[in-house]
Structure formats: C-alpha cells, structure tokens
Copies of this chain bind each other. A is one copy, B any other.
C-alpha cells in the first residue's frame, strides 16, 4: 500500500484537490490516441472475406510520454456493428477515461481497442473456421503486439478485458477460456449468456429467406434473421456448405421449415456461455475481478433473464463476482457522465487491476 502512495507521488500530486472540489472549467490532461495498423495471420483463416488488415487504436494515458513507467492494459471489446474508429469518434469514451485518471478514480492504464470489424456483423467473439478465430487473434496476436510496442505490465495481474453487448460476451468468454492471460473482466450488458425464456423454435427467424439468401447482405433489414446468419457462421460452422458455410438449425423440408433439435442444442452449447460455465468455474475462481452488469429495460428480456441466471449460476459455482442490474436499457446509461463506464467500470479496474 505504501508503494502505491509512492508511485502516485512519482506521478505528481498536482491533482490532490478532490475531484468534486474542482471547477468544471478544469479540463483533465489529454491522452494520446495512436493508430496501430496490423496484419493478422490468424484472421486469414476464414470464409467470409475478413480483411486481415486491422485498424487497432490505442489510447495512451496522459502521463505516458513523460514517464518511464510500465502501465496496465485494458482491452476493450467493441460490440458487433461497431469499430475502433467509432469508439473514439465522439470523444466520449476518451473524455470519461481521462477524467477518471484526473479525478484519481483509477490510475493510468493503456486502453486498447482492437479491430473486431468484418463484412457481416463483425466479431461475435468466437473461434470459428468460417467467421474467424477472434479469441486466438486477441490472445495470440493483439496482446503480444501491444506488449511489444508499448511499456506495458505484461502479465495477467495487470491485464483487463472490458466489452459491451457482444463485446460483453467476449469479455466473459475470455475470462472463461483465457484466465491465464487476463485477471480482470467487466462485461457491460453482455448477451448470449443463456437461453432466456423463448425456445429457439419460436424465434422470429425468416427461414425461407435465410435458406434462399446467397449472402449476409441479402438479409439486410431482416433483423434477427440476418444476425442469425452470422451466429451460425460463428457457432455452427461447416466449411463445406456454401454459401453460409454453416449448418442451420432449421432446414427447409418440402418447402417448410423443419427444426433440428440436435443442431440447435449443439449450437446453443457453443454460443450460450452458461452452457460451459461449470467447466470454466476453476478458471473463473482465479480472476482478481469479474463483473457483469445490464440494463433492466432491454426490450429483449431474454438478455436480462439470462444474465440474472448467469449470476445465480456463478454464485452456485462459488465464483466471486459483481452483477448489477440497473435502471436503463443497453445503451442509455453506459457512456454518460454518470454512466456505468465512468461510475462502475473505472472504479472496478482501480480496485482489481495491479498497477505496479
């Protein structure tokens, strides 16, 4: 603890006036956004036309340039249909992080937003021979790249993963599979944590259109139908079956959709995180910090119900964690001044991530 004080002293105690005693005119010191172009080898292995050139972005903290220190690293997993560029475009995320540093809510870290975009939804945080081995890309390529290029604390104690929505699924998945690489995970409104209350045979998917489609793009405007094209590529891949390269859990028979329960259940076991939670319990118990949160008013209540059950199951498995359900929907309380990222994620990182 004393060494923590000393390290703070080293950074300079200019900011010793408590945050809420500072006039709003105070602009917190700015970090630096760096583009880190990278050509992936792992992602070449796909059937959907993924571009191996990745546009990774990194936010270096304000003190980085003038110090010799090594920093913990927070890997942010953006949602499907999103990108590193969009993460920084409106400046909100950056501003919240900088303010968190300035107000001593959290000590400085390097914030990495790797590129999980693609021609369909982008990564659903899978390892698929069809839509990309995104878990491997993250652990085998992105993390070593960042550790090589920047002054990082290159160890699990100082490595966190944070994500929202599908990226929240990614954060939990990495904790479950790669707890030797990351010791802190925060999933913001994760999805696909469980089956919810609607059986898959009742999901509103337009199977005739799904089977008639030649490409993801053709299913534009069909909502769940289009997303399930990508979900099948990720979690029910079959490289031999063009054009989707997957085994649909409902085939067409005599012009009518025919539900295949064995396929559906096999796909659920791969897609839904609670299905493999028991096997991951030992790994998850080694986490320094594990959290998920979610907005109560998600119109897809299956997300909400699944997250409640996921937390109950973590509890049964003896996995220490936080699991707050808040007033809000998946989007409206996340990146605001008083939102979940500023008020929940940053203090959580401070509490669990080792900065020395």
Which A residues lie at the B interface, using CB under 8 A?
Answer: 1-2, 4-5, 8, 13, 16-18, 20-24, 104, 195, 197-204, 259-262, 264-265, 268, 278, 281, 296-297, 299, 301-302, 308-309, 311-313, 315-319, 321-327, 329, 350
Contact between B199 and A316, CB atoms less than 8 A apart: yes
Q: How far is the CA of A261 from the CA of B281 in the complex (A)?
A: 10
**Chain B residues in 8 Å Cβ range of A296:** 197, 308, 311-312, 323, 325
Closest to A268 in B: B316
Q: Which of B2, B104, B323 contacts A326 (CB 8 A)?
A: B323
Check A203–B313 contact: CB distance below 8 A: no
CB proximity of A295 to chain B, nearest CB, Å: 9
State whether A313 touches B18 (Cβ < 8 A): no
With beta carbons under 8 angstroms apart, the residue of B17, B195, B204 that contacts A5 is: B17
A281 partner residues in chain B, CB cutoff 8 A:
261, 265
Are A195 and B18 closer than 8 Å at their CB atoms? no
Give A203's nearest chain B residue, CB to CB.
Answer: B299
From B5, B18, B20, B297, give the contact of A23 (CB < 8 A).
Answer: B5
Q: Assess whether B20 is in contact with A18, with CB atoms less than 8 Å apart.
A: no
Among all A-B residue pairs, the 5 with the closest Cβ atoms: A261-B318, A199-B315, A325-B325, A16-B16, A323-B327
CB-defined contacts of A22 to chain B, threshold 8 Å? 5
A268 to B261, CA, bound (A): 25
Task: Please state the number of chain copies in the assembly.
Answer: 4
Q: Cβ of A323: which chain B residues have Cβ within 8 Å of it? A: 296, 326-327
CB pair B23–A318 under 8 Å, yes or no, is no
Contacts of A16 in B (CB 8 A): 13, 16-18
Question: In the complex, are the beta carbons of B312 and A195 less than 8 A apart?
Answer: yes
Residues A297 and B316 in contact, CB atoms below 8 Å apart: no
Look across to chain B and name the residue whose beta carbon is closest to the beta carbon of A16: B16
**Shortest Cβ distance from A320 into chain B, in angstroms?**
10
Q: Are A327 and B301 in contact (CB under 8 A)?
A: no
Q: Provide the bound-state CA to CA distance between A199 and B325, in Å.
A: 15
Q: A327: which of B21, B297, B302, B321 is its contact (CB, 8 Å)?
A: B321
- Residues of chain B with a CB closer than 8 A to A265's CB: 278, 281, 316-317
Taking a contact as CB atoms closer than 8 A, the residue among B13, B199, B200, B302 that contacts A17 in the complex is B13
Instruction: Flag if B8 contacts A316 (CB, 8 Å).
Output: no
Return the contact of A200 from the options B260, B308, B311, B316 (Cβ within 8 A). B316
Given A16-B16, A197-B309, A261-B318, 11 additional A-B pairs, CB 8 A:
A1-B24, A4-B20, A13-B16, A195-B312, A195-B316, A197-B296, A198-B297, A199-B297, A201-B315, A296-B325, A321-B327
